[in-house]
Structure 1
Amino acid sequence: MALIDRECVRRLLESPDPDATLVFVRGDCIVLPEKEIDDAHRGLVIASKRDLTRLMPGGDTLTEQQIDTLADRLDNIVRDLGA
């Protein structure tokens, strides 16, 4: 079962905040503004919206397959963190 799925990725990419960040806390992916992440949760950051938009081929429009690929990559990051 995936810890990060396409809905997590979609929430991050669709956030109106350019500094939105995906954080994995207690089994949930949460999108927060970067300035709201305290030192205790900084190690739980998975990716920022800026990080993902730099990786997006072809601009702002992603296919479902590309979103799934991003979700798989982010899921691997969460698992590497020991979730």
Structure 2
Amino acid sequence: MSATSLIDRECVRRLLDSRHPDATLVFIRGGCEVLPASEIDDAHKGLVIASRDELMARFAGGTPSDRELDELAHRLDNIVRDLGS
């Protein structure tokens, strides 16, 4: 990933490994944060990038490889950029 990526493999890994059953990736103050969906207030709902459930559905319950994580991070990075962040 390039140095200018807003979302990287580690952001995605933190989301997938979160202990929260409703883990959600949110882009706040220039960085990715993993929060329980129940803690995301109205002011930040527009900054939600993806939920863990959405991402896990792509891997059919398997463990994604580093390459798959990098590809997913690139797609999520594009979503963040489309938000205007």
Question: What interval of TM-score do these two structures reach, taking the shorter chain for normalisation?
Answer: over 0.9
String of CA shifts for 1:23-66, please: whole Å, max 9, x gaps: 00010100000000000000000000010011125x33111000
Aligned residues: 82
Q: Report percent identity of matched pairs.
A: 65
CA RMSD of aligned residues (A): 0.9
TM-score when normalising by structure 1? 0.95
Q: TM-score, normalised by structure 2?
A: 0.92
Gaps of 5+ in 1: none
The unaligned stretches of length 5 or more in structure 2 are none
CA deviation after TM superposition for structure 1 residue 18, in Å: 1.9
Does structure 1 residue 13 correspond to structure 2 residue 33? no
Separation of aligned partners in 2, 1:56 and 1:74: 15
Q: Does 1:28 align with 2:36?
A: no
- Deviating beyond 4 angstroms after TM superposition, the runs of 4 or more aligned structure 1 residues are none
- Give the counterpart letter for 1:60 in structure 2: G
